[in-house]
Amino acid sequence: MLRECLHVIDGILDTIERIDAVNAAVRACKDRSEAIRALHAPPWGFTEVAANHVLDPTVGDHTHNRRAPLRLRVTD
């Protein structure tokens, strides 16, 4: 459970850092299922759970104040 949670948090942080590339990959997909498969494949390699979290953030999740606590969770 902890490993999966850390993977999701790491995926969200990675997505924020490479948001333009992630958005381009997702926009190229015809639907959510295809986007999940795209995020599961290289170069992303997200699990299905992490890919779903990557597809669900709000714009506010991209602010420094939202990223900082996530980074602390990963390092703890």
DSSP 1: -
**Block residue for tokens 């969200």:** 12
Separation between Cα atoms, residue 71 and residue 69, nearest integer Å: 5
User: Cβ(26)–Cβ(38) under 8 Å?
Assistant: yes
Average pLDDT over residues 18-38: 90
- pLDDT over threshold 90, residue 36: yes
Q: What is the pTM of this model?
A: 0.64
**Architecture of 2-75 per CATH?**
Orthogonal Bundle (1.10)
DSSP 42: T
56, two tokens: 């669900």
- pLDDT over threshold 80, residue 71: no
The answer to which of 5-9, 12-16, 33-37, 72-76 has the lowest mean pLDDT is: 72-76
Residue partners of 47: CB distance under 8 A and separation at least 6: 4, 7, 11, 40
